[in-house]
Homo-oligomer: A and B are copies of this chain.
Amino acid sequence: MYESLVEKLNPKGVDVNEVIQKLKDFSIETPSWGYSDAGTRFKVFHKPGSARNVFERIDDAAVVNKLTGAAPFIAIHIPWDKTKDYKELKEYAESKGITIGTVNPNLFQEDEYKYGSLTNTDDKIRQKAISHILECIEIMRETGAHRLSLWFGDGTNYPGQGDFVKRLHRMLEGLRSTYVSLRENDIMLIEYKFFEPAFYHTDIPDWGTAMLLAQKLGRNAKVLVDLGHHPLGTNIEQIVAILLSENRLGGFHFNDKKYADDDLTTGSINPYQLFLIFVELVKGGVGPSPHSKVSYTIDQSHCVKPNIEAMIQTINSIEIAYAKSLLVDFKALQEAQEENNVVKAEEILLDAYYEDVRLLISEARRQKGAEVDPLRALKASGYEERIVKERG
């Protein structure tokens, strides 16, 4: 049937071999915290077999990478992944085929951060936050990671609680104190979020604020787009395109949402939107493994799905969106746009979207020696049963 698909795509001008090559090259980063227990404010359900420390998380990430052939990076989160010897951690990861790509400081789970970390009115607490970020930059050096990914829970819950401008100025000042410690090819990713855990205002609510901070910091500061961090109805693909054109797109946190920041598995609510985002990335020249330029990081909360299965499903979903975007006839699209042929332009996108690309992905996996059906292979491997026994 793969041949039948090739026969169908070739006349459309699709270079199937090139598509397969890009799918083989495609790589993504999974988050260490995606292998742990997760939940909501109402309840964290324990999942038997959840990874209990960074080494077990790397083990799980390595399984996901082995099965899919597409997840060679891991993002770590300090202090959740704290360990004594980060060089050892790096070596452990590498022995499993995993590279530590991104380091995430935690600036929201200390009692001191109740009223903000870098934006706090208390200089001691700001210094604590700065020190923690500097510690993470040090961990980047030791682990070979080049991306520092900053998300802040900072904000206020009530009118009057804080001064928007002073808080933002403190944020900038704090970022500057740490930005200067980055090396030439390090990237500082600034993540924005519309709401939560602060409910009245967040200090970096939107890409405009994140961009403003990045502009003031320098060219190594970039904006991170988490798909769940926008108000409903936002055209995220437009934000992606504009950030890319301004050379400020730093990376993604992939997930999906129905109403708020639900952190559901990517593409589970609106897979077409995911495709449209990849259309912008492909059009904007972002390659299949942009790692050092635009990080592709999964960030989900697997409340009811088994972690490893959820991660594999997510990679499937993202690869499907990516593969479809590779089928778009961009030349014809541009022509249709120029003549304002709305129906034709949309049909060009839909022609790619309606295609069943799963055989292309299977073929790419086959060629690179990964599993054609990773979910099934996971079941067959007995890995899940094993970790349940070992980890409880």
Contact = CB atoms under 8 A, between A and B. Distances in A.
A377 interface: no
A337 to B, nearest CB: 6
A174 B178 CA distance: 39
State how many copies of this chain the complex holds: 4
B242 A164 contact: yes
List 8 tightest A-B contacts by C-beta distance, closest first.
A208-B208, A231-B231, A233-B259, A199-B262, A232-B232, A40-B197, A160-B345, A356-B356
Given A194-B259, A270-B270, A349 B159 contact: yes
B257 A199 contact: yes
Given A163-B334, A201-B235, A231-B232, A260 B260 contact: yes
Interface of A: 1, 4, 7-8, 39-43, 45-46, 108-109, 111, 113-115, 121, 153, 156-165, 168-169, 194-197, 199-201, 205-209, 211-212, 231-235, 237-238, 241-242, 244-246, 257-260, 262, 264-265, 268-273, 276, 280, 283-284, 303-306, 309-310, 313, 320, 333-334, 336-340, 342-343, 345-349, 353-358, 375
A52 B40 CA distance: 22
Contacts of A232: 231-233, 259
A85 B45 CA distance: 30
A209 B245 CA distance: 12
A222 to B, nearest CB: 15
Given A260-B196, A260-B260, A158 B320 contact: no
Given A199-B257, A208-B211, A264-B199, A276 B313 contact: no
Given A165-B245, A258-B235, A159 B276 contact: yes
Contacts of A160: 333, 336-337, 342, 345-346, 348-349
Contacts of A113: 43
Contact of A268 (B284, B334, B346, B375): B346
A343 B199 contact: no
A200 B235 contact: yes
A241 B203 CA distance: 12
Contacts of A8: 1
A305 B343 contact: yes
Contact of A206 (B153, B206, B269): B206
B46 A313 contact: no
B7 A111 contact: no
B337 A114 contact: no
Given A304-B114, A343-B305, A343-B375, A259 B258 contact: no
Contacts of A169: 245
Given A197-B42, A304-B342, A342-B305, A157 B264 contact: yes
